[in-house]
């Protein structure tokens, strides 16, 4: 599929709706999730059969959530915030999976795009610059979608110890703030059971 066909697809539209806009990061996440799912031979996880580990909390992670079905709420989306465009997708059944990492030379930053982005983010761009930015942002997204996955990513097979499934634990009130807290997350200090928030406030 070329970029236009991908952008017209229901799958991509769902990613864009969920994320709120189309951008190069979302497009990279889309491509990474598609490769990982294909290699894993799994369809979208309705429950927890697939676990995703993302190494950035930026735009790309949203496409990963939509396409793989791995979400925070289900406990099968893990974010290790290393600031890297890396997705590891694992099968819950086998613990095996694939690590999809952006190649260092795959998508070099574009100077003009980057400068305009900084201007837009800081609110200093005029209308013309903002329009030029949107155009370039979309063009960069198209460039990503048009690239063959093997040019964008290094994919390797991995085996990982999987985190335990999402648990539903009974709550009890924190001794300090009184808010119901999952009892396994309370810490006993001087005979009082404190939530993490109160524990931190107590420290400082
Ligand atoms: Zn974005
Ligand atoms: Zn508390």
At residue 161 the predicted structure's pLDDT band, cuts being 50, 70 and 90, is: confident
Ligand nearest to the CA of 63: 1
- Give the mean model confidence (pLDDT) for residues 29-38: 96
> What's the CA-to-centroid distance between 188 and ligand 2, angstroms?
12
**Would you state the pLDDT for residue 109?**
86
More confident position, 166 or 40: 40
Distance 49 CA to ligand 1 centre (A): 27
With bands split at pLDDT 50, 70 and 90, how would you rate the model's confidence at 43? low
Q: How far is the CA of 176 from the centre of ligand 2 (A)?
A: 5
Question: Which H/E stretch holds residue 86?
Answer: strand 86-91
| Contacts of 144 by beta carbon, 8 Å cutoff, 6+ apart | 24, 27, 28, 31, 107, 152
Q: Is the dihedral of CA 149, 152, 156, 161 positive or negative?
A: negative
Q: Place 163 in a pLDDT band, splitting at 50, 70 and 90.
A: low
Local confidence band at 175 (pLDDT 50, 70, 90 cut-offs): very high
The pLDDT, as a whole number, for residue 34 is 96
pLDDT at position 181: 95
Count the Cβ atoms, other than its own, within 10 Å of residue 33.
27
% of the chain with per-residue pLDDT over 90 = 76
Average pLDDT over every residue of 191-203: 88
**Ligand lying nearest the CA atom of residue 202:** 2
* Among the listed residues 88, 70, 21, the one whose alpha carbon sits nearest the alpha carbon of residue 13: 21
Whether the predicted pLDDT of 75 surpasses 90: no
Q: In the predicted model, what is the mean pLDDT of residues 146-154?
A: 96
- pTM of structure: 0.85
Q: Is the pLDDT of residue 203 over 80?
A: no
> DSSP string covering 18-72, please?
HHSS--HHHHHHHHHHHHHHHHHT----SSSSEEEEES--STHHHHHHHHH---T
CA of 182 to the centre of ligand 1 (A): 33
More confident residue, 56 or 48: 56
Q: Which residues keep their CB under 5 angstroms from ion ligand 1?
A: 23, 25, 59
């Amino acid at each position: 599929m070329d970029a236009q066909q991908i952008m017209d697809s229901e799958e991509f539209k769902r990613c864009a709706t969920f994320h709120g806009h189309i951008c190069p990061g979302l497009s990279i996440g889309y491509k990474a999730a598609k490769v990982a799912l294909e290699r894993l031979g799994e369809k979208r996880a309705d429950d927890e059969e697939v676990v995703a580990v993302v190494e950035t909390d930026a735009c790309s992670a949203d496409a990963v959530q939509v396409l793989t079905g791995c979400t925070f709420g289900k406990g099968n989306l893990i974010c290790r915030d290393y600031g890297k465009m890396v997705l590891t997708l694992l099968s819950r059944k086998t613990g095996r999976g694939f690590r999809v990492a952006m190649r260092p030379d795959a998508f070099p930053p574009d100077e003009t795009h980057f400068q305009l982005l900084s201007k837009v983010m800081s609110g200093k761009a005029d209308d013309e610059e903002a329009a030029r930015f949107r155009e370039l942002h979309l063009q960069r997204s198209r460039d990503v979608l048009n690239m063959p996955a093997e040019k964008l990513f290094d994919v390797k097979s991995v085996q990982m110890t999987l985190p335990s499934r999402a648990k539903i634990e009974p709550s009890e009130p924190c001794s300090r703030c009184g808010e119901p807290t999952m009892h396994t997350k309370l810490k006993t200090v001087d005979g009082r059971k404190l939530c993490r928030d109160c524990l931190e406030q107590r420290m400082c």
